[in-house]
Structure 1
């Protein structure tokens, strides 16, 4: 950014020098212009216009330099060497904060919205990946990436059953850190959502027994009970797509038969595939398919 500012200053000074040259060139033609009244009038207007442009550019350079000074003091939490009572200084301070905020927002956008801090004497970047489900903030995970030489993962707090190294290779983290973070965030949010759904099943549906689940929450086996015959049903949910929080396959079995294709249970199976499991169970209980 400092390089860009330096380049901008050079361009402004070049314009000023060029305007000065044009002004001198106009004066050198003054004698000839006197012999041509209409031309003299045009040249005079042109000179005045160039002077105004020069004055405006000088003012812009002064503002730019003041902003750079103020931004440096804001970054260091120091007071700038300007009068606090001056309206000009207040405006400059406001403009400095605005440009500072724009830079922060730009960096935030380039990083995909991930919070990042420098670690290990600026040799590594530590990214925070928060997870949420249905408006509730859940766990936050951290990944530290060494960027000094070869880009690599130095440490992380991601659960071991999510293969971080495999994701890094698949997304070509060497050249696309944001792509890797997006993929990892997708997996983490899906995992947190499945885990939260399992928690809600246990909290909201006391009559439903969780017979089996794994650490990744990619497999869920529930024991359901019908209200009339009090028949026990085995409901299996397979979340083979680990980037999603909904199952890819659902089966419902009675004591001896598979009920998944029966007219009575087809709607429930579709509901379990298209709706979070705790909400699907609530709907099935309201329709008196389970207790």
Structure 2
């Protein structure tokens, strides 16, 4: 028992050193967070302006009227002042979209819109779609995953409300990218603590992980399902945990796990549970040694 306690205390010292390093990193992160908060405040200000602005169909967003770009330019060439005002408004709108992770540029037959995704300041990936300037507008090609309801969103919003179309599509894409990132982090960082690989579906709105946790003197195997019923969110809407042991102490621990997974990103929740278990074991052995 004493040998085991020494091992745990040695492990605790390693954790303490790591904690000091993390404190130095946290100071740098604190400064970065201040900058991020300033940028987010600016982004929110621009979002508010976007919400107050009634966006017109996509043709007018890029200052084009008519069936195609050439026709639009011909119709506007005798009204340069109106065109300049529209261009200025368009640039402001696209700049605001850019700060929210959405940007656009003109292409020969329409506009190319790109949507970037990120998780808590970590850039993940971007998606694009090329929209043809027809009546109504049509998506020509894209790299949006097939399980994102793009066709449905296109029919409902693209021609009538570009702002809403982009906002909802961005929510879907960012939530999916964040769920997938969490699953990847769980597998890469904590795969050794899992029984078998992490299970997930293509949309990553169902994650299943099997692992052990220690309750008092016993190891309990847990099967946890993280369910994301709202696919525009990256936190689960429900957490189901199955165990064979129905004792009161185990059920109490299960509630802790459920709360942790509901409130934190999956990989951070799992890490917090492991740290809590390590600390509990150290306290237990110290009490036993005394």
- TM-score normalised by the chain length of structure 1: 0.59
Report the Cα distance in structure 1 between the residues aligned to 2:267 and 2:146, rounded to whole angstroms.
Answer: 26
Which runs of 5 or more structure 1 residues have no equivalent in the other structure? 8-67, 69-99
The answer to whether the Cα contact below 8 Å between 1:237 and 1:247 also exists between their aligned partners in 2 is yes
Larger Rg: 1
State yes or no: 1:115 paired with 2:115: no
The partner residue of 1:173 within 158, 161, 177 is 158
Report the Cα distance in structure 1 between the residues aligned to 2:247 and 2:167, rounded to whole angstroms.
Answer: 39
Residue 259 and residue 5 in structure 1: after superposition, are their counterparts in 2 closer, same or farther (change >3 A)? farther
Bigger helix fraction = 2
Alignment of 1:143-162 (within 5 A): 143-162=129-148
Residue 223 and residue 111 in structure 1: after superposition, are their counterparts in 2 closer, same or farther (change >3 A)? closer
Q: Secondary structure at the match of 2:164?
A: helix
State yes or no: 1:221 paired with 2:208: yes
Alignment coverage as a number of residue pairs: 198
Report the Cα distance in structure 1 between the residues aligned to 2:98 and 2:132, rounded to whole angstroms.
Answer: 16
Residue 125 and residue 260 in structure 1: after superposition, are their counterparts in 2 closer, same or farther (change >3 A)? farther
Which runs of 5 or more structure 2 residues have no equivalent in the other structure? 1-62, 64-76, 282-290
Equivalent in the alignment of 2:178: 193
Residue 287 and residue 186 in structure 1: after superposition, are their counterparts in 2 closer, same or farther (change >3 A)? same
- Deviation string 1:90-149 (CA, Å, 9 cap, x unpaired) is xxxxxxxxxx99973354237885321222x3x221100111112111111001112233
RMSD of aligned Cα (Å)? 3.3
Equivalent in the alignment of 2:199: 212
- TM-score normalised by the chain length of structure 2: 0.60
- Deviation string 1:179-227 (CA, Å, 9 cap, x unpaired) is 1111111100000000110111112212024442111101011001023
Larger relative contact order, structure 1 or 2 (CA cutoff 8 Å, min sep 6): 2
Equivalent in the alignment of 2:252: 263
The partner residue of 2:265 within 242, 266, 276 is 276
